[in-house]
A and B are shown apart, each in its own frame.
Chain A
Amino acid sequence: MNNSPSPSQNPLKEGLSNRPLPRPCNVVIFGASGDLTFRKLIPALYNIEADGDMPANTHITGFARRPKTDEVFRQELGEALAKFSRSGRVEDVWKDFSGRVHYHQSEFGNGEGYRELAEKLDRLDAESGTAGNRLFYLSVGPNEFEGIVTKLAEYGLNKAREGSWVRVIVEKPFGRDRQSAHDLNEKLSHVFEEKDTYRIDHYLGKETAQNIMVLRFANSIFEPLWNHRYIDHIQITAAEPMGVEARGPYYDSAGALRDMVQNHLTQLLCLVTMEPPTDLSADSVRDEKLKVVRALRKYSPEQVAENVVRAQYAAGAAGGKEVPGYRTEDRVNPQSETETFVAYRAFIDNWRWDGVPIYVRVGKRMPGHGTEIAIQFKNTPGVLFNAEQAGMDPNILVIRIQPDEGISLRIQSKRPGAQLAIEPVKMDFHYKTSFGKPSPEAYERLLLDAMAGDATLFARRDEVDAAWTFIDCIENAWHNHATSPPMHEYPAGSWGPTAADELLARDGRAWRRL
């Protein structure tokens, strides 16, 4: 039996933040020439630096195929930063930061490139005191994961020295179904332990997503109402006016269900419906989310037809101009059966949410841009004011994930004047103006967490697995069943097909208009 004292018995920890400390490290980005690096990762790392949160002496190395010098790489990043950084580019900060950015040219399958990378990282460790701490970011397609991690293992880059750590961040898509996700996890697990594997879902890094737990569990007024006795239903919407743009080939092989629902929207659904965790540790939070995914009602093919609507956008108008239909988009199969819109009615079969429908919709080429969670409360009894003024609006608590992150609560109020007229009014909280500073980008928080070893906002293997189980039921009904439900159409620039409206109308409800 091991009688070693555990860190929880460490009296010096009292009063100090439970959050692990981000430690100086070397960050290596595979796929450093890609869009994500320029638009998100480097701006996020730069803003961490500008905010003074970057662990000292942390170096960033971009690993990619194209030949390039450090200077050219830095110049390209600098130009992109001016466009994509939330705080612009401050020359003094950029000078310090870019001096610690390097480029490493190699094919992903070239062993020599990894040997040289290992030497470079050892040298940086010695010069900068990063002590062998390494964070590998796989900003590449899933087909590259296995090759890269195998090479990392071959050259010992996955092995942490005594007192240091080596972690890997994996970008979505994490598989295309349960089996492929399982295979991918297996391959990764041969090289990195689960505790060192960080599956990123940038929605979880958004300030409002993190605030869901605070809203629910740090305020005494909401949680007593947060159940089937007071909540009529929940709507989760992710709408975007853009089409598939340059992502045609990827999107056509994935679709809205895999691209958005399996990860982002399921994570939001979990945060808003899970039980309070026993503590704020990564595993306690993820345990509770996992219970929700496991309790999501799995539909038979017939039930899928009844509860899930899929659709593709047809030609229409968006942003004041004519836009093509999905099947005529660049590099999209003209006979494509891939959905660009999904709406479904989910149920969580547990005590708290018994009978409460959760309506989720996601779509491209919608009239508005936004992601929100709307909690609609049950109506007041039909006496007094509710009897006087039939059809009084319900209370709705809206958590805006993006843009204009914030929370609003719709309540009833008496219109000024002698007459008793009741109208809904909104109490609004905007992050930006309340706190007087912009929220950090999701990637900033997530990269810092990975440097600190805090996996709370990253998906665990069993979560991914359970989410795919739910998604596979729908995908199977759509693609592997004799009487698969129809693929609807909606004009670009509309809120989706009428079938989606009917899904709620059958329950006497309607979608919110964003």
Chain B
Amino acid sequence: MAFESASLGLPVPVAQIPTQLKALWADGDHRTRASLLNLAVYCQTTASFDENTALISRFVRNHACRAILLGDIPAAETPGVSAWIQAHCHLTKAGAQEICSEQITLLAEGLSQVAVANLLLAHLDYDLPLNLWWQGSLPQNPDSPIWHRVNRLILDSRDWTNPADEIRKLNQLRNHAGARLHLADLNWTRSLSLRQAIAVSFDAPSLLGEIDRLNHLEIHHGADARLTALLLVAWFAAQFQWKASGSEGECLLFQTPSGTTLKCVLKTSQMEDVSSVSIGSPEASLTVERENGSPLLNAVRKDATGTTTTHFTAGNRDMQGLLSEEMIPGAKHRVYLKALAGLQTLL
């Protein structure tokens, strides 16, 4: 272990974590411990400890939890576990009691997958859901006791270097863990404001009535956001029931349920994320775009009656905002799974 651990709090022997945590609250007059969930952050490098700790510190202001930052270095020569504890506290208003969340940091070196899983399971807050944020490539072997305990698996498909392989592993995990494992892809959440603006714009009868006649889709995206764009294409295809029918040059081709051929083009731009989505039929079209850095999404609808522009908030999509969004339950998981299934056919 050779890294700067100052941000991780008090170093403690693993066996003493529970008692040392209790000691944190011994002077409970001014501080209240709050916890509604377990947030475990799994990473395979100590280099992200500082950044993750800073993110946890911001996250717990809105989501009281027990955070467990778990660094797993299986290739370490000397097996061992190091641990640190700390409390992240904030005042709800001047003069009020401080509200605190605990963070346990565990560094597992040279341990087996099962041993790492047991280490994590042993330190969860009792009877609260487990949200596991898996940073990096998913495990090859899903045979770990942890997957039966995880309620929500948070991942970021934008970091996938081999999407097809990651989807394969993800499917394996889901088969192993069962239906209760909820997937939360931060990359999917990144496009939430865009999808909401598109969905609301499609409430207009002039667009809704054209669903069967849609024939073009064009998405502009930054160099690192191709997978975000492909997920959007897969979302359209799943919701509108298009069937992938090959490609023509740079175009992806789809058949709509009414037999119309739809051409889809993805273009790389200098902008960040997905900057523009245009979809339409010969009679009506919609373009939703965001200028770099603008807080607004502009939705421009063109139909027989003319052009209508509507503005939507682009939303705050930093990592903390994405994580917070994932904590809101809803039916998004089901729609994501449909998009993910479609994504496989587009890779």
Contacts and interface: CB of A to CB of B under 8 A. Distances in A.
Given A14-B331, A52-B316, A129-B296, A436 B99 contact: yes
A110 B213 CA distance: 53
B240 interface: yes
Interface string B212-226: 000000000000000
Nearest to B97: A433
B202 A10 contact: yes
A12 B238 CA distance: 9
Contact of A4 (B200, B209, B314): B209
Given A12-B199, A434-B34, A163 B308 contact: yes
Contacts of A351: none
B298 interface: yes
Interface residues of A, number: 37
A436 B298 contact: no
A391 interface: no
B310 interface: yes
| Size class of the B contact interface (CB-based, 8 Å) | 35 or more
B290 to A, nearest CB: 11
B331 A22 contact: no
A214 interface: no
Given A14-B335, A88-B93, A56 B99 contact: no
Interface string B235-253: 0100111000000000000
B101 A21 contact: no
A7 B34 contact: no
Contact of B331 (A15, A432, A433): A15
A317 B93 CA distance: 31
B322 to A, nearest CB: 12
A9 interface: yes
B313 A12 contact: no
B34 A433 contact: yes
Interface stretch (B59-67, B161-169, B261-269): B59-67
B310 A131 contact: yes
Contacts of B301: 163
Interface in A75-122: 86-88
Contact of B314 (A13, A56, A164): A56
Nearest to B101: A436
Nearest to B295: A56
Interface in A253-291: none
B340 to A, nearest CB: 13
B63 to A, nearest CB: 7
Interface in A437-476: 437-438
Interface in B183-231: 195-200, 202-203, 205, 208-209, 211
B321 to A, nearest CB: 7
Nearest to A87: B93
B312 interface: yes
Given A131-B310, A437-B64, A52 B321 contact: yes
Interface string A408-442: 00000000000000000000000011111110000
Nearest to B195: A16
B239 to A, nearest CB: 4
A56 B313 contact: yes
Given A16-B332, A129-B298, A437 B92 contact: yes
Nearest to B320: A52
Contacts of B309: 131, 163
Nearest to B335: A15
Contacts of A432: 92, 99
Given A16-B195, A17-B330, A437-B99, A56 B239 contact: no
Contacts of B314: 56
A55 B297 CA distance: 11
A13 B235 CA distance: 11
Interface in A137-183: 162-164
Contact of A86 (B34, B93, B199): B93
Contacts of B209: 4-5
A65 to B, nearest CB: 32
Given A16-B195, A16-B199, A435-B34, A21 B99 contact: no
A24 B313 contact: yes
A20 B239 CA distance: 20
B48 interface: no
B32 interface: yes
Interface in A172-231: none
Contact of B311 (A12, A52, A129, A438): A129
Given A13-B199, A15-B331, A434-B34, A88 B313 contact: no
A438 B208 contact: no
Contacts of A55: 313
A88 B91 CA distance: 11
Contacts of B308: 162-163
Nearest to A161: B308
Contacts of B203: 7, 10, 13
6 contacts: A4-B209, A7-B203, A16-B195, A21-B196, A21-B312, A130-B311
The 6 closest A-B pairs by CB, nearest first: A436-B64, A56-B295, A15-B335, A436-B34, A12-B199, A4-B205
Given A7-B203, A7-B208, 8 more contacts: A11-B241, A17-B328, A21-B197, A163-B301, A164-B310, A435-B36, A436-B64, A437-B61
Interface of B: 32, 34-36, 60-64, 92-94, 96-97, 99, 101, 195-200, 202-203, 205, 208-209, 211, 236, 239-241, 295-296, 298, 301, 308-314, 316, 321, 328, 330-336
Interface of A: 4-5, 7, 9-17, 20-24, 52, 55-57, 86-88, 129-131, 162-164, 432-438
